Structure 1
């Protein structure tokens, strides 16, 4: 399954946010993007989510777009930042923060689509392999996210299972891992498990059936949520 692109729009003009959102959906299609809207810089900073692309306004109350872009660059050098502003005087400062583009208000859809053309090519090239690091019983390991089948909590430790039958152990919680891996479409069918949705073959009664005939239990409280997530993933895969 191809990873959806994650977009954030941060602008105190709600109507303008909705306009950008509608343009992004028109360009990619609704099933290929996840879009979050923030009407203040403070709310955006609190979100602490990794986005592929962030649209920022310059003139906002309290935290402005330049301040937010500076904060982003302190912890994320890869996210594409696009400034949308009616104030061209900030362009030089913005480009020093390595923003991807600086679009003028009122927003021209043709110019936006050209920017998305260029950015999408780079996103497709950069997202072929995504890696995460773990401090395990084998030392610090770097694993490709797509190779992780599932996590299991057992005896106060996490067991990480990969598609090549490797198992790594480390201390963590399913809750924290769920927060960390939700951007990669991992789901938690049970308080002791976190599963890569790409490896689900079927749902049978109260169990998930993964590749290699691995059976993962589904708690009664999560059955509908997990079924809906799985069917949604299948639908998006068919739309690719």
Structure 2
């Protein structure tokens, strides 16, 4: 699966050249580009890409301003600055930028940066892609606490937020092939590594509580022994 990139760059000639360079590298897809800082911010919030590549000097909002706004909203997004300005390195560090590349850009430097990004995703995570209203969202295995059935859709609860995805619980179960996931009832799938306690709830059900979150899931008592073996 390609890593999604949203690009902000107001120099049209350079932007076209950059798009061509990135398009030639396997594993990446520029899903949106713009020359306007406010539009750039809106696109990132809507698309939620893995990577944002940005110039610093753009109309309405600078690349630094966009990065500062988006960092708290999307803590896992990777930020790459490509700019003519060297004096913003300190601010780039403050928003945990992955790289700061000065123009004129060196093709090999860009290639190395993107290869390192690809390696980071491969080494640090297994992630799954889910259909949502506006497209797709990628969620890391380790971020998922539980999944709850929601009519013909499902709600995925993560360490940062919850997402309504356009999959039935059965479809989500087929997607979540990692050994840490267990279907605890007709309505729930849980990440067993996140469980902190299990308490009786009714004659036929138990309640699962999770580490560092207030989420609750149900466990059918008939499945308790099977879950204990996995834990």
TM-score, normalized by length of structure 2?
0.57
**Offset, 1:14:** 2.1
Residues matched between the structures, number: 154
The 5 A counterparts of 1:211-230 are none
Measured at CA, do residues 141 and 41 of structure 1 come closer, stay the same or move farther in structure 2, by a change above 3 Å? Answer: closer
Which of 18, 29, 32 does residue 33 from structure 1 map onto? 29
Which of 70, 75, 97 does residue 73 from structure 2 map onto? 75
1:161–1:167 Cα contact (<8 Å) kept: no
2:56–2:62 Cα contact (<8 Å) kept: yes
Please give the secondary structure, in 2, of the residue aligned with 1:45.
helix
Cα shift readout 1:154-210 (whole Å, capped 9, x = no counterpart): xxxxx87523776428xxxxxxxxxxxxxxxxxxxxxxxxxxxxxxxxxxxxxxxxx
1:21–1:35 Cα contact (<8 Å) kept: no
Please report the RMSD computed on the Cα atoms of aligned residues, expressed in angstroms.
Answer: 3.1
The 5 A counterparts of 1:116-131 are 116-129=114-127, 130=140, 131=143
Paired position in structure 2 for 1:15: 13
Paired position in structure 2 for 1:63: 61
Measured at CA, do residues 160 and 52 of structure 1 come closer, stay the same or move farther in structure 2, by a change above 3 Å? Answer: same
For residues 14 and 112 of structure 2, what CA distance do their matches in structure 1 show?
19
For residues 150 and 68 of structure 1, what CA distance do their matches in structure 2 show?
32
Paired position in structure 2 for 1:155: none
Measured at CA, do residues 11 and 34 of structure 1 come closer, stay the same or move farther in structure 2, by a change above 3 Å? Answer: closer
For residues 161 and 62 of structure 1, what CA distance do their matches in structure 2 show?
41
2:35–2:59 Cα contact (<8 Å) kept: no
Paired position in structure 1 for 2:38: 42
**Offset, 1:50:** 1.1
For residues 62 and 141 of structure 1, what CA distance do their matches in structure 2 show?
35
- Gapped regions of structure 2 (runs ≥ 5): 128-139, 159-164, 175-181, 189-231
Paired position in structure 2 for 1:107: 105
- Structure with higher helix content: 1
TM-score, normalized by length of structure 1?
0.55
1:160–1:168 Cα contact (<8 Å) kept: no
Paired position in structure 1 for 2:168: 151
Please give the secondary structure, in 1, of the residue aligned with 2:56.
coil
Measured at CA, do residues 133 and 43 of structure 1 come closer, stay the same or move farther in structure 2, by a change above 3 Å? Answer: farther
For residues 41 and 96 of structure 1, what CA distance do their matches in structure 2 show?
19
For residues 58 and 34 of structure 1, what CA distance do their matches in structure 2 show?
18
